[in-house]
Structure 1
Amino acid sequence: MALTGWVAGTFAVVCLGVGLLHLLRAALLRLDVAGELSHAAMGLGMAAMFSPLGNPVPGPVWTVVFALAMAWFGGVVVRSRTFGGDAGHHAVGSGAMLLMLAAGHSAHGRGAAGTLGAVSVAALALTGYFAWHALRCADSCRRPEPTPGAVAVRTGVLEAPHVAAAAQLVSAATMSVMLLGMV
C-alpha cells in the first residue's frame, strides 16, 4: 500500500510530534525513562519511514537502536517472567521496527509488499497487535484522572496519563498503517 506524498508527510509530522513528546517526557518527568525513550525512538523511526523527503538517519543506526531496545526489554521480560505489561509491548514494538527495517519497508510502497510470505504473515499479526493496542490506548484516553487538577501542577500537561495514552494511540495506529503496507 503506497501512500501519497501528502498523506505520508502528514503521518511523518504526526510521528515526529509523538517522538518529540516522549523525548520531552523522558527529560522532564524522569519516570520510566527507558520506556519513554523507546516510544520516542519508535515515533522518530516511523517519522523517518513515512517521510517523503527520505530518512535522515542511516538504516544501520536504526537497526542498532531497535536491537538494543529489544534486548533491553526482552531482558526485563525474562527477569520478570511475564510478557504482559510495558516491557513486553516495547519488545514487540522494537521487533516490529526491526522487521520493517529488515524488509526495507517505507510508507511509499517499497519493501516486502506484494507476495504473501513469512514477512507478510508477521506484518499482519503485528498489525493486529498494534490495532488492539490502539484500542487499549483509546480506552485509557477516555478514563477520567483519579485526582483532577493535581497532575498538572509540576510539569503541566506532560504528566497527565491521558496525554501519554493519546500519544501511544497515535503511535500504535500509525504502526498498524505501516505494517499493513507490508502485507
Structure 2
Amino acid sequence: MPSMSGALAVLCLAAGLVHVLRLVVLRRDVLGEISYAAMGLGMAAMFSPLGNPLPTAAWSAVFGVCAGWFAVRVLRGAGLRGEASHHVVCGGAMLFMLAVGHPAGALGGHAAHGSTGAVGGAVALVSATAMLLAGYFAWHALRCVDRTHPPREPSAGSDTAVALRAPTLSPCAPRTASMAHLAVATSMTAMLLGML
C-alpha cells in the first residue's frame, strides 16, 4: 500500500526531526537523541515511496555504530533494563530490517515462503526474529502510550481531586519525546509484521 507507506514515512520523518530539534535545544543525552533521530529518519527512508536517499551500507554503518556504542555501555555497567539496552535492540532491529526487509536484502519476506532446505530454515529464522522484534516494539509502543498522557496534579480545593494541566507540546517536554517514540515503535512494528 503506497499511501500507507507514505503516511508512515511522514510520521517517522516528523519523529526523527523532533529528536533533531531536541538535540539542538536540550543539548543533553546527545547520543540518545542522535540514535532516536537516526531511527526516525532511517524508518522514514525505508518507508519512503520515493526511494531511500542513502545507500543501505551507509544506514548499516550508522545503526551498527549506534548498537555497538550502546552495547559497550551495557557491558560497562549501564544494565540490561536501562535505556542503553533499548538502543542496542533498536540498532539491531534496524540492521535486521535493512538486511532482510530492504528490496536488495537476501530474503524478501513472503517471497521465499514454501521453500525447503537451507532457504526454508533461513525464512523460518527471519520470521521468528521479525515476530520477536515486532512483539518488543509493540510492547514499547504501549509503554509510550502511557507516557503521552498529560501530567496530573492535585487541585487546590482537595487532596484527592485531580486536575489536568494544559498540554505541553514543546520539544523539551517528555510527552513530545514519548509521542515521537510511539510513532517510530508503531512503524517498526508494522514493518516487522510485514516481513512475516
How does the TM-score come out when normalised to structure 1? 0.87
Which of structure 1's runs of 4+ aligned residues deviate more than 4 A? none
Partner of 1:170: 183
- Higher normalized contact order (CA 8 Å, seq sep 6+, divided by chain length): 1
Q: How much does 1:145 deviate?
A: 6.5
In the alignment, the residues of structure 2 paired with residue 89 and residue 112 of structure 1 have an alpha-carbon distance, to the nearest angstrom, of 26
Partner of 1:47: 44
Match among 112, 118, 131 for residue 125 of structure 2: 118
Deviation per CA, 1:2-44, whole angstroms, max 9, x where unpaired?
A: xx11111111111111111101111110111111110110000
Partner of 1:27: 24
Give the number of equivalent residue pairs: 173
- Kept in 2, the 8 Å contact 1:112–1:120? The answer is no
Partner of 1:14: 11
- Kept in 2, the 8 Å contact 1:133–1:172? The answer is yes
Percent identical among aligned pairs is 49
Q: Based on CA coordinates, which of the two structures has the bigger radius of gyration? A: 2
Q: Please state if 1:129 is matched with 2:136.
A: yes
- Kept in 2, the 8 Å contact 1:111–1:182? The answer is no
In the alignment, the residues of structure 2 paired with residue 33 and residue 81 of structure 1 have an alpha-carbon distance, to the nearest angstrom, of 16
Deviation per CA, 1:67-111, whole angstroms, max 9, x where unpaired?
A: 0001000011111151112111110000000001111436xxx95
Q: 1:37 to 1:81 in 2, by over 3 A?
A: closer
In the alignment, the residues of structure 2 paired with residue 15 and residue 144 of structure 1 have an alpha-carbon distance, to the nearest angstrom, of 25
Write the letter of the residue equivalent to 2:180. A
Partner of 1:57: 54
In the alignment, the residues of structure 2 paired with residue 79 and residue 143 of structure 1 have an alpha-carbon distance, to the nearest angstrom, of 35
SS of 2:175's partner is helix
User: Structure 2: which 5+ runs fail to align?
Assistant: 114-122, 154-163
How does the TM-score come out when normalised to structure 2? 0.82
- Kept in 2, the 8 Å contact 1:124–1:179? The answer is yes
- Kept in 1, the 8 Å contact 2:25–2:172? The answer is no
Write the letter of the residue equivalent to 1:103. V
SS of 2:148's partner is helix
- Kept in 2, the 8 Å contact 1:145–1:161? The answer is no
Q: 1:52 to 1:139 in 2, by over 3 A?
A: same
| Cα RMSD for the two superposed structures | 2.2
User: Structure 1: which 5+ runs fail to align?
Assistant: none
Q: 1:22 to 1:81 in 2, by over 3 A?
A: closer
Matches within 5 A, 1:133-172: 133-142=140-149, 144=151, 157-172=170-185
